[in-house]
Amino acid sequence: MSSHSQATSLGSPQPLGVGILGAGPVTQAIHLPSLARLRNILEVRHIMDVDAVVAESVAARVGANHSTSMDALLGDPDVDIVAICSPHQFHADQVIAACRAGKKAVLCEKPFAMSGEEAARISAVSEETGVPIIVGAMHTFDPGWLAAEGNWGDLPENVHTIRSSIVLPPNARFEDFATEIITRPAGGTPDYSDIEVIKNALRGGIMGLAIHDLPLVRRFTPDFEDLEVLQARHVRPFGYVISLRSGKQGAGDRIIELRAAMNKTWKPEWVFEAISDDAALRMDFTPSYVQAGSAVATITRGSTSTTYGPFEHNGYEGEWRELAQLALGTKQPPSAESLINDLTFAIAIADATVDVAAAEHANSHAGAHS
């Protein structure tokens, strides 16, 4: 058992108990360090992983219970908040189970579902049980982003160009600055001549990487259901060049440019921009894993720029702060519709992107043999 009750001073409010499903690198290098900064309000009490050795080892780092089954964690009365950090395909069922277990709040790592149907099921259960859910799109909880949101005025209505540009070193570089990792997924050697490999890489890039910024893109994209993929290209070893148009051409349409390159560089860049004729927002996000503070937001109107941040915590810590507020009932949860729309947007882009990549591959293949 954890010793949380003994550690809490008499008269001070009990920290809320946290249980985490999945103890891989994201839990080890992101969530546990974030929670270590919030010990006055949140306490890790249960770690579950299908690998018993990993579960025990990671739990021992924070003095928590450990198990290898979801049911054991959900049945632990010390757990108030459940964080779902398992592989994508388990997210939907685990979110629903956590809601039905009567927990006070649920954090689901992105994406919280892999289809619109799954998202609708989650929404229905959340509504039925009243358990608030948030999705781990950490940039939407970044204080720099929140400061920008409070100051960008009518920019979302007037934007014509949106850019998300991500350049990342291998995750291990930052994981190793954040903690001492005990497990890592094995890497492979992809066959780039296989279109299925390219399609999977593009889908993975969108649902695993671009998805961090797609809720931000959607804030500036009112007609997000009307999407056209202008190009979808894979970047080796992992990345993408994707160009999209949303809305009707010439009638307030938006051009959306998504770029990502994950290589062996040491230099991360994570920039989001929304641009209109007379104003522009630029977000410079800090790399994931390390506690490097918030993004810096720069809003420019004409030749005058105003900068917001950096603030001392990042979006991951922002997520946990929000979860604590939701569990305590001191803040209203995000609307289920918003979460579903974010997911629908991401899935639509992923589906259309993969289709375009497949069609271009087929055309080039046909051309090569004609």
Partner 1 sequence: MSTHYTVTATPQAEESGSVALAVASLPASYGPVAAGEAARISALDGAAGWTAEAIKAIDGGASGIVVVNPVPENTAALLNAAEARGVAVVLDQRWASNPGLAGAEDAVRTVAGRAAMLDTVATAAAGADPERLLTEHLAAVVRVTGQLDALRVLHRGTHGYTVSARLANGAPVSLQGVLSNSRPAGVDFRLYTDDGAVSIAVPEPLAAWPAEVRATGPQGEILLPTVYESAHRTTWRRLKEHLDAGTLPSDLVGFARLTESIAHLS
* Minimum distance from residue 239 beta carbon to partner 1 (Å): 6
> How many of the other CB atoms lie within 10 Å of CB of 177?
13
Nearer to partner 1, 249 or 332 (CB): 249
End-to-end Cα distance, the chain: 69
- Residue 283 binds partner 1 (CB under 8 A): no
- Residue 367 binds partner 1 (CB under 8 A): no
- Residue 276 binds partner 1 (CB under 8 A): yes
Amino acid present at 27: T
- Report the half-sphere exposure of 81 (CA within 13 A, side-chain side): 28
* Minimum distance from residue 360 beta carbon to partner 1 (Å): 10
- Residue 8 binds partner 1 (CB under 8 A): no
Q: Quick one: tokens of 227?
A: 């999407």
Helix (H, G, I), strand (E, B) or coil at 177: helix
* Minimum distance from residue 355 beta carbon to partner 1 (Å): 16
- Residue 250 binds partner 1 (CB under 8 A): yes
- Nearest-CA neighbor of 130 among 330, 341, 333, 340? 333
- Residue 261 binds partner 1 (CB under 8 A): yes
- Residue 93 binds partner 1 (CB under 8 A): no
- Residue 259 binds partner 1 (CB under 8 A): yes
Nearer to partner 1, 61 or 245 (CB): 245
- Residue 257 binds partner 1 (CB under 8 A): yes
* Minimum distance from residue 186 beta carbon to partner 1 (Å): 20
Decide: residue 128, CB within 10 A, 0-12 exposed, 13-18 middle, 19+ buried.
Answer: exposed
- Residue 275 binds partner 1 (CB under 8 A): yes
> How many of the other CB atoms lie within 10 Å of CB of 325?
16
Q: Give every CB contact of residue 51 below 8 A, 6+ residues apart in sequence.
A: 23, 68, 183
Positions that interact with partner 1 (CB under 8 A): 160-161, 163, 165, 167, 230-231, 233-237, 239, 241, 243, 245, 249-250, 253, 255, 257, 259, 261, 263-267, 275-280, 300-303
